[in-house]
A = this chain, B = another copy of it.
Amino acid sequence: MYGIIGKMKATSGKREALAAILLEGLKDMPGCLSYIVAQDPTDLDSLWITEVWDTQDSHRASLALPSVQHAIALGRPLIAGFGERFETTPLGGQGLGK
């Protein structure tokens, strides 16, 4: 499996709108086993996004999905930057949609 843990910084006051775009646009992506959007309670503009995919190829392919392209287009103006980013190799656990 392939995983990503990443911090995304919204433009000021736009975190909620950005989260809504991600949650709405990034559903039902083939090979996506987990995709969680969370607020950083210590930083009003930041989101933590944790993802698990069956393969890295599935993740790469998702970027071409119309729904994802649409979410990226909508979300990009609300993104001020990115913070920590860790790639992982998930082994298992609970909530992997398998």
A78 CB to closest chain B CB, in angstroms? 15
Q: Please give me the residue from chain B that is nearest to A33 by CB atom.
A: B95
Report the interface size class on chain A.
20 to 34
With A and B bound together, what is the CA distance between A50 and B86 in angstroms?
12
CB within 8 Å of B: which residues of A?
Answer: 1, 3, 5, 19, 23, 26-27, 32-42, 48, 50, 52, 84, 86-97
Roughly how many angstroms separate A94 CA and B52 CA in the complex, as a whole number? 10
Contact B39 A94 (CB under 8 A): no
* A95 and B35 form a contact (CB under 8 A): yes
Bound: A37/B34 CA distance, A: 12
Q: How far is the CA of A86 from the CA of B36 in the complex (A)?
A: 14
Q: Say whether, besides A91-B19, A91-B23, A95-B96, A86 and B37 are in contact (CB < 8 Å).
A: no
